[in-house]
Structure 1
C-alpha cells in the first residue's frame, strides 16, 4: 500500500524538494535474507532492525536522492583516529545505481564506494574506496546516494524515526546537486521510519570495532528505564510518535507505560514499560 504525499514549501519551510516530485512509501516485493554476521564487527547504527517486509521510500519516478544517518562527536568518541571503511544498506529498487558515501555537515563528500547495481532482497555492503578517518569534534553523515529511474529505492526499518538522526533524506531538484539533509519524519509525519544504514569502523591495524567498545545498555525495572555504561553521555528518549520525551545524562528515567526508543552514543534500544 502506498501513501502518496507532496513535499513543498508549506511542509519544509525554507528547505524544499522539487515541486513536481512526491515521496511515498511502498512495501518491497523482495523478502529480507540476512547474511551471516562477520565476527568482531559491531553495528554503528541509529536504525532498528529490518522487518521481514521492508518498506522503500521514493518518488515512484526518476530521481536523484540520498539517505543518511547522523553520527555526532559523542557517538564516535571511542573511535577517534579510526576509519569508516564500509556501509550496509537495503536497496529496494532494481533500476537504480547505489553509491555508499560519507558526508561532512556541509555536504562535502568525504568518501564513497562508487556506483553499483543493487543485490535485491539482501543487505548490501559497500566498501569505501578509501577509509574516512574519524576526527574529534566532527559530525559525519553516513549513508548512500540513489540515482533511480523509478520506484522507492530507500529501504527503511519499521520505525519509529529517530528524528534528525536516523531518517535523513536529500532529494535533488536539478538531478545533479544534493541539498542539505533534513528529517523525513519532521517534514512528513506519516513517514515515521529510519533508513536502514549501518557503518563499520576499523582502527589503523584493520581490526574491526567490537561490541564491548561501547558498553551502553538499557533495561526496564519497576516502571523505570535504567541506563548503564553511558559514562556521562547524552541520553535521548522518544515515544512511538517520534517525540522527544527526555534528554539528559540521568541513568534512571521514570516513564509512563508504553513503547519507547532510547538513544545513547551510537546505540539505540527499543523498550516497553
Structure 2
C-alpha cells in the first residue's frame, strides 16, 4: 500500500452485496477494509481474491449489533491502514414479522445493527474526514424504505432512517468536503432469491419494469461512482437501483 492510496471500508463485505462492493472498489484502486460479523472465513476469501488481483485488502471483524463496536471498527481501520476515505454502511440483518407479533428484541436488533451502527461508524469516520477535508459516506438503504413492506416494520424503519441520516449528515458536513449519499437497491440476485420457486420469481419480476432482478455488480458500480471524483458534486441523495420498482 502506498501513502497516497485511498482506503475504503465496506461493512458486511464477506458476502453478497458487500462482497461485490469490496471487489469493485479494489479494482478501482482502493485499499479495502473487508468487514465481517461472523463469516471470517468468507471475509478472508474476499481479501485473498483482492490480493490475487494485485489489490490491497485487510480483514476486520466486529459485531455491529453493538453500535459502539462500529466506532471501534472505524478506529481500527484507520490505525491499521493510516486513513479512511470512503465508508460504505452496508451491514444489515432482518428479523421479519407482523408488527403486532414483533418482539422488542427483534425491533431493537434490527435498528441497532442497521441504523445505529451506521450512525456510530459515520460519526467516527467524519472526525477523521473533517481533518482531511474530504470523504465519502455511502449508506445502503432499500427500496422498501420508500415503498414500505408488510412484515418488515423494523427493517423498513431502519432503512428509512438511513435516508434521513444521509440528508442530515450531507447538510452538516458538506462544507468540510464530505459527501453523504444513499443507495436503495430493489430485488438483487442472491442466495435468497436463488432459492425462490420459479413461479414466485416470475411474480416478483412482473412488478419490476425491467423484468428481472438486479445484480450485486450493478449496485457496486454505483457505489464505485459515488466514491469517485466524478461524484464530488452529489450529496444528500438517495439513488434507486431497483429496475424501476419505485419510480418517484
TM-score, structure 2 normalization: 0.30
Q: Decide which structure has greater helix share.
A: 2
Higher relative contact order (CA 8 A, sep 6+): 1
Q: Decide which structure has greater strand share.
A: 1
